[in-house]
Amino acid sequence: MSFDLSSFFTAGHRPKDELCIGIESERFCVTADQAVVQYSDSNGIAEIVEQLRVISGWKAKYEKGNVMSLHAADGRAITLEPGGQIEFGTTPQIKLVDLESEINHYREMLEQVIASTGHQFLCVGVHPSAEPEQIERLPKSRYDILEPHLQQADELGIHMMKTTAGVQINFDHSDAEDAMLKLRTVFALSPVIQAMFANSPKHGFKSWRGHVWTRTDNARCGIVESLVAPNSTLQDYIEYMLDVPMLFIDRDGVSIDMRGKSFRDYYASGDATADDWSLHLSTPFPEVRFRPQIELRCADAVSDEKSMGLAALVKTVFYDPSNLQDAYELTADWTYAQRMATLHNAHKDGLDGLTPNGKPLRDYAQRLLGIASSKATADQLRFLQPLL
């Protein structure tokens, strides 16, 4: 059965007066002395999620009796990453104050867990005390496939799975042209944004998390050259995804190993389903991707205040056409090689990292914040304040 590969992306279009913002923020749960809290521990991650289920009244999803996530009727969710990182996803909101309200409610729930367990929930980009081999992996069948793949793909993939955490901003597009301009602009600005939100100091890097992603799987990470190119199209994104090697598909709740297979060939065979395509689209990890909203992925986990600042930055820059164009022009003259070198500099030195013209990334961050502030409302400026 054939289906339209582009329909996944066009489903993400919204009218210009209904453009929303969503946040997905990850935290590490650690003991009071910042030791690992394992999934299966007493007072461990599984029990904490069950406690949050009781507190929230949200519906739990299980795999083979193991709790994997919680889902509210309005779309909010608490999910788990492979190393037990706890992720909260808001609903899409037009107003930043409504995002803030959802985050505050989540934080209140976590405070109840803290009171009963003594644990801490850390908004940082790298685990403070543990290496991957010290962290129990989430008992989810797809990770039986992903883990051996990452062990072979590059040197730090297992670090990515178990010891890193980030914050993602999900935002809308009104048509295919708007979607690709926004995607290109995030790619173009990713070294600047990474520097602004570097929060995982380790091994001499300001953003060890960012560096880890560059040593995870080059076939599915980083800045995608064909997509940051001027005039790239939605079809270019589809072609990119058709070339990304498959990992797995799901059938009746069971993940089936598809490593080594091409989605292009799988689609041509007529066996692929729209659900397979949607799942495949979740398996690359570049600095930005479609889900089908645009998912900005180039920031370390940071405090809720700074996460809201990033959401405000996206709203004020990406939802104003002239601001968006000005933001894109900030780095429009960088070559692909220069972008990759500057991304490395952002990981290594944060805002002090050098750009192709020898200026620090701090200068570009200030210019980007100037664009964001130029037309911001008083309310938007309040959320931008932690970044200024």
Cα separation, 161 vs 133, whole angstroms: 11
**What pLDDT is stored for residue 365 in this prediction?**
98
Task: Please give the share of the chain, as a percent, with pLDDT higher than 70.
Answer: 100
- Structural fold of domain 7-382: Creatine Kinase; Chain A, domain 2 (3.30.590)
pLDDT digits (tens, 9 = 90+) for 204-238: 999 999 999 999 999 999 999 999 999 999 999 99
Q: Where are the domains of the chain?
A: 7-382
**What pLDDT is stored for residue 253 in this prediction?**
82
The strand pairing partners of 21, in sequence order, are 93, 171
| Residue 174: pLDDT over 60 | yes
Instruction: Determine contact, residues 222/213, Cβ cutoff 8 Å.
Output: yes
Mean per-residue pLDDT, 102-119: 98
**What pLDDT is stored for residue 260 in this prediction?**
87
Instruction: Determine contact, residues 26/82, Cβ cutoff 8 Å.
Output: no
In 3D, which of 97, 100, 98, 102 has the Cα closest to residue 378?
A: 97
In 3D, which of 349, 339, 226 has the Cα closest to residue 284?
A: 226
Cα separation, 253 vs 12, whole angstroms: 25
| Residue 41: pLDDT over 90 | yes
**What pLDDT is stored for residue 2 in this prediction?**
74
User: To which H or E segment does residue 256 belong?
Assistant: strand 254-257
**What pLDDT is stored for residue 1 in this prediction?**
57
Give the CA distances from residue 47 to residues 43, 143, 294, in Å, rounded to whole numbers and listed in that order: 6, 21, 33
Is 0.95 topped by the overall pTM? yes
Mean per-residue pLDDT, 5-19: 94
pLDDT digits (tens, 9 = 90+) for 310-364: 999 999 999 999 999 999 999 999 999 999 999 999 999 999 999 999 999 999 9
Mean per-residue pLDDT, 152-169: 96
**What pLDDT is stored for residue 121 in this prediction?**
98
**What pLDDT is stored for residue 347 in this prediction?**
98
